[in-house]
């Protein structure tokens, strides 16, 4: 099943009060495995970014001034997400901004049932613990050291890993590995490698063994290699054609 894990950054917290999207990052996963396909864009909101928001994501008015508006990228965004489920952390917040921008462009909005909220999934699994992205990364051992500020694509990539963990994806991968090992064992039983009818003749000569013994003797009686004396000279056998 194809799903899109995404995150947004905004000018503020109120989609109905005039705040706008300024960044969107999407990660495609297929059957709970990231495919490497992403969609990412910075957006010109045509309004100032709240200073409190800048402290969170670091996206300033000057940086966004030459970026395209959402309506210039909306078709590319819709083509990427298609009709797949949309996975977000605190999805109601992101859905409000996405649907606001779609409405301003005259596009149909996304239905609530399309969204999967990883915050709700985490709260059901850990009802009495912090379930922020950073807390979940620490809980599942996911590296988020590059997350010095919020960023939509980076957060979406991290969230994709967390989402797979919340669904038990790592255990599923272990089970798949066990199935592959069993299949390999069955194949070996059906097609065994035939045993060599006669052992290969030794390649070491008597001179080789003597040279090794002399080298070990030169190391002294306390040398660890003295405990592992070379075996006796092998019996000479005829070469195998």
Phi, psi of 71 (to 5 degrees): -65, -20
- Do the bridges between strand 86-88 and strand 33-42 make them parallel or antiparallel, or are there none, so unpaired? unpaired
Is residue 4 within 8 Å of residue 28, measured between CB atoms? yes
Distance CA 238, CA 135 (A): 70
Distance CA 163, CA 89 (A): 9
Distance CA 60, CA 48 (A): 8
Type and span of the H or E element at 122: helix 118-125
Owner of token pair 């990660």: 27
Phi, psi of 56 (to 5 degrees): -85, -50
Work out the angle between the directed axes of helices 152-166 and 118-125 (0-180°, nearest 10).
40
**Percent helix / strand / coil, the chain, rounded to 5:** 45, 15, 40
Phi, psi of 150 (to 5 degrees): -65, 140
From the list 40, 150, 191, 212, the catalytic residue is 150
Known catalytic residue: 150?
A: yes
Type and span of the H or E element at 177: helix 169-190
The residues carrying an active-site annotation are 150
């Amino acid at each position: 099943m194809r799903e899109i894990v995404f995150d947004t950054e905004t000018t503020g917290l109120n989609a109905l009060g005039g705040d706008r999207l300024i960044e969107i990052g999407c990660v495609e996963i297929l059957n709970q495995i990231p495919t490497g396909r992403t969609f990412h864009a910075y957006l010109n909101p045509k309004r100032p970014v709240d200073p409190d928001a800048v402290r969170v994501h670091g996206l300033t008015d000057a940086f966004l001034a030459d970026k395209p508006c959402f309506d210039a990228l909306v078709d590319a965004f819709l083509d990427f997400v298609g009709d797949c489920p949309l996975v977000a952390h605190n999805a109601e917040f992101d859905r409000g901004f996405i649907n606001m921008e779609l409405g301003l462009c005259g596009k149909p909005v996304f239905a609530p049932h399309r969204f999967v909220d990883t915050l709700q999934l985490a709260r059901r699994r850990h009802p009495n613990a912090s379930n922020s992205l950073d807390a979940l990364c620490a809980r599942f051992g996911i590296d988020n050291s590059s997350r010095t500020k919020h960023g939509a694509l980076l957060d979406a990539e991290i969230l994709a890993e967390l989402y797979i963990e919340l669904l038990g994806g790592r255990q599923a991968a272990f089970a798949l590995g066990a199935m592959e090992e069993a299949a390999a064992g069955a194949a070996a039983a059906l097609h065994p490698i035939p045993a060599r009818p006669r052992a290969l003749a030794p390649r070491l000569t008597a001179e080789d063994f003597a040279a090794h013994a002399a080298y070990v003797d030169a190391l002294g009686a306390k040398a660890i290699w003295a405990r592992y004396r070379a075996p006796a000279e092998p019996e000479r056998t005829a070469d195998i054609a």
